[in-house]
Amino acid sequence: MKAPFTLFILLFFSQMGFAQELSGIVLSNYQKPVAGATVAIHNLPDSSFVKFAVTNTNGEFSAIVPSHGDYLLIISSSGFEKKYEIVKTSQVAPSIILYGSSKTLDAVRVTSNKQPLIVRADRIVFNVDANPASAGSNVFETISRLPGIIVDNEENISAAGKNGVRVYIDGKKSPLTEKDLANYLKALQSSQIESIEIITQPGAKYEAEGNAAIISIKLKRNTSFGTNANVNAGLAYSKSLKSNAGLTINNRNKRTNLFGSFNYNYQKNEAYLDLYKTAQDSVFDQKGDVVFDVEAFSYGGGIDYFAGPKSTVRFEYTGSTQNFGNDKIVTTNIYKPGFVIDRKLVSDNSVDVNAINNSFAGGYKYSDTLGTEFTIDADYSTYKKRSSQFQPNKYYDATGENLLYSNDYYFYFPTDIKLITAKSDFEKNIKNAKISLGIYSSFANTDNDFFRYNVSGNLRILDSSRSNKFSYKENISAAYFSFSKTVEKFGITAGLRLENNISEGRSTGKQTINQFDTTFKFSNFNVFPSASISYSLNKNNRLTLSYFKRVDRPAYADLNPFEFKLDEYTFQKGNPDLKPQYTNSISLNNIYKGKLSTTISYSRTDDVFAFLADSSEKTKTVLIRRNLSRQDLVSFVITYPLHIKNYNAFIYANSYYSHFKGNLGLGRDFDIETYTVLFNIQQGYRLPQNINLQLSAWFNSPSIWQGGLKSKSMGSVDFGISKAIFKGNGTLKLAVTDIFKTIKYNSKSNFAGQDIVVKSGTPESRMVKADLSIRFGNKKLKAVNSTKSADEQKKRLQSSGIF
């Protein structure tokens, strides 16, 4: 361990220093490079001149600027209209498409010819459309392939060895549990997504939950002038055909933008789940085959009202309907001492789920060119799920031919969630400083019923002693303040978030007599500081030291003390004594020449959650989340974007050491550690005729899942190709995922006297996918309005004294 760690340290400090690079590509409306275009770079807000850059024969430009911040780019070339664009040093400037001057289209327009992956100071941005390999994939599959992300065999999402990941969709945190969230993301297609951001260092503006990362999903929304539409359709095939289709449309004029969307997705997949368990003097050898299908519809619409050049009012509705089916046949050989088969258990489970999501949102936004922004947002969301499961358990003798007896059950468990959120944020630039402040409040109400029936023939008899109702209410109120300032070579950011959490849960039985009633309440107030200080060592290197504190609160399903039967020998129950886990993290980052980023970090999570396979009744397994004492994690991360003419690549490497430790009672010490390497590479090549190739690969060495399972290595190689068609109004993508069929989940647990080995996966991980997208719209009207937008932007810059 000493030699690799020393190598990491030498590599890190050999690159120390600062550089901020602005780069981009200038193209004509025929997608041809514009060579010799002049890019004038000006400081903001005083508009003082910094330097010129000139595009090369490929239309590319780059320039090293002296400090971090906002800059004004003025792009000009003979025969084209000028463009005024404000950009940040923390982002890659978008490619610029120049249209002819007044003799042609009299317009200048910037379009988003984005890089597949962009690294910023606090996040990685994945631009879905720029990644051909994502064609035909659902959002859950796309997330599982992102740098630093690990998805385990139970579809829990973790990031770089930590289990506190929160998912935001269009700025709203999802209230769903892991399984429900995975199902929801599977129902969304990647073609619906604009970008996915992995935010590893959330500021005070974000809710304090999510110690590992925040995954922010931004849905597509067209704001172009005139009437515009985008139609997409996709197919995927492995053992069966999967399909998806969608439509987005908008109509915009000077005052309003009306928009709407509808999407459909159907997929059917096969999987396997094998388990080998040794408990006491018995052995259970389980083989399972699973077939699951998803049919989903998502829809929505809204209006933006432009009250003025600086003010926008928005009203929006989004919804979805999802139907899930799951048929699982499991055969378990049960061995008695001496490894002799005692009997066989055959279970033929079937699960049906219907889920409906509705969200109503409204907001107001004020924004000017001087950096002042004020927003008010409110949202009301409902989630309604109805699940049923039939679970027959038939026991045969050792030969598997003679039926001994049968235990058959039927379960029905409806869930209703209501969530109300409201927040307001304010930002303002003051000379070389920026202040941000805001308030936030949310109210969540969850009702869960669980009915268990004993089945005899066609008769269902309610088992009231094993049925219950669980209600959970939570209110979070918060306020935050942050400040950032640049002074010569130094940059300082400091934030403070105050959060008060009040929650109450109640679990009651359904018996008419001797009814149990378990109630718990929780209330606490916490302060979450965050801070960073950066220093420009020289023109090539910038060093940043960061710290933050965050929290992860238990999900409502993890608090319900009632026991849910997964099969005859496996149960899952909640833990009302589960406490929040708190994480303190510190990191040291260096960026070399604006590209090579190296980061060393340490985090400690107290009362860390662990999903444990505990024992019950000697041979039965109870899956439960408990608090361990802590998790210590040390990591070293390298990211590097590479651009050489028509070739681009993004390299991500993360090496970390993780140690979980806890004492759960006499003889139940918990001590597990691992050294893990995560590697991800995305490579692209631009060919003539608007063809783009992409080859991507990821690899995860052995790691710890959810604090309680040790996994083996796995990875994947994907390939994609895209081509612009219909004179740039359409895109055709083809992709092959998991070419070598290496996505296989293998894990083991050794706790509470039980040795468990789990193997799972899907023979359909290698899949051929195709996606077609066609854009329609009034291009002439877009060009006219684009000219007006450029003129108006210039006038606003002049009136503000910026230019």
Average pLDDT across the chain, whole number: 84
Quote the CA–CA distance of 598 and 2 in Å, as a whole number: 19
Which residues neighbour 331 within 8 Å (Cβ) at sequence distance 6 or greater? 286, 287, 288, 344, 345, 346
Q: How many Cα atoms are found within 13 Å in the side-chain-facing hemisphere of 606?
A: 4
Closest alpha carbon to 553 in 522, 528, 531 = 522
Q: If you average pLDDT over residues 405-414, what whole number do you get? A: 95
Residues 432-458: tens digit of each pLDDT: 788 999 999 999 999 999 999 999 988
Q: If you average pLDDT over residues 285-307, what whole number do you get? A: 93
What's residue 394's pLDDT? 94
Confidence of residue 92 (pLDDT cuts 50, 70, 90): very low
Q: If you average pLDDT over residues 629-633, what whole number do you get? A: 95
What's residue 617's pLDDT? 78
Peptide bond into 45 cis (omega under 30): yes
Strand 767-777 with 226-237, pairing:
antiparallel
What's residue 732's pLDDT? 94
Report how far apart, in Å, the C-alpha atoms of 295 and of each of 265, 267, 354, 413 are. 6, 7, 10, 20
Q: What are phi and psi of 110, to 5 degrees?
A: -100, 125
What's residue 14's pLDDT? 39
What's residue 734's pLDDT? 95
Strand 744-751 with 157-159, pairing:
unpaired
What percentage of the chain exceeds 70 in pLDDT? 87
Q: If you average pLDDT over residues 610-634, what whole number do you get? A: 89
DSSP class of 138: B
Confidence of residue 160 (pLDDT cuts 50, 70, 90): confident
Confidence of residue 512 (pLDDT cuts 50, 70, 90): low
Q: What are phi and psi of 785, to 5 degrees?
A: -65, -30
Q: If you average pLDDT over residues 333-344, what whole number do you get? A: 90
Residues 530-571: tens digit of each pLDDT: 999 999 888 889 899 999 999 999 988 888 887 888 888 888
Residue 377 in this model has a pLDDT that exceeds 90: yes
Strand 123-127 with 117-119, pairing:
antiparallel
Residue 148 in this model has a pLDDT that exceeds 80: yes
Which residues neighbour 77 within 8 Å (Cβ) at sequence distance 6 or greater? 26, 34, 36, 37, 38, 98
Token output for 536: 């420009």
What's residue 32's pLDDT? 60
What's residue 58's pLDDT? 62
Residues 243-291: tens digit of each pLDDT: 999 999 999 888 999 999 999 999 999 999 999 999 888 899 999 999 9
Residue 726 in this model has a pLDDT that exceeds 50: yes
Residue type, 430: I
Q: Of 111-120, 210-219, 767-776, which range is least confident?
A: 111-120
3-state secondary structure 70-81: EEEEEEECCCEC
> In terms of pLDDT, which residue wins out, 655 or 9?
655
Report how far apart, in Å, the C-alpha atoms of 648 and of each of 241, 293, 471 are. 33, 37, 52
What's residue 132's pLDDT? 86
Q: If you average pLDDT over residues 576-592, what whole number do you get? A: 93
What's residue 781's pLDDT? 40
Q: If you average pLDDT over residues 693-708, what whole number do you get? A: 91
Contact of 186 with 140, CB cutoff 8 Å? yes
List beta partners, residue 428. Answer: 435
Contact of 748 with 758, CB cutoff 8 Å? yes
Q: If you average pLDDT over residues 368-395, what whole number do you get? A: 92
- Is residue 588 exposed (0-12), middle (13-18) or buried (19+ Cβ within 10 Å)? middle
Question: Which residue has tokens 């922004």?
Answer: 373
Report how far apart, in Å, the C-alpha atoms of 621 and of each of 7, 156, 259, 566 are. 44, 20, 51, 10
Helical (H) or strand (E) element with 545? strand 541-552
What's residue 100's pLDDT? 58
Question: Which residue has tokens 């390299």?
Answer: 651
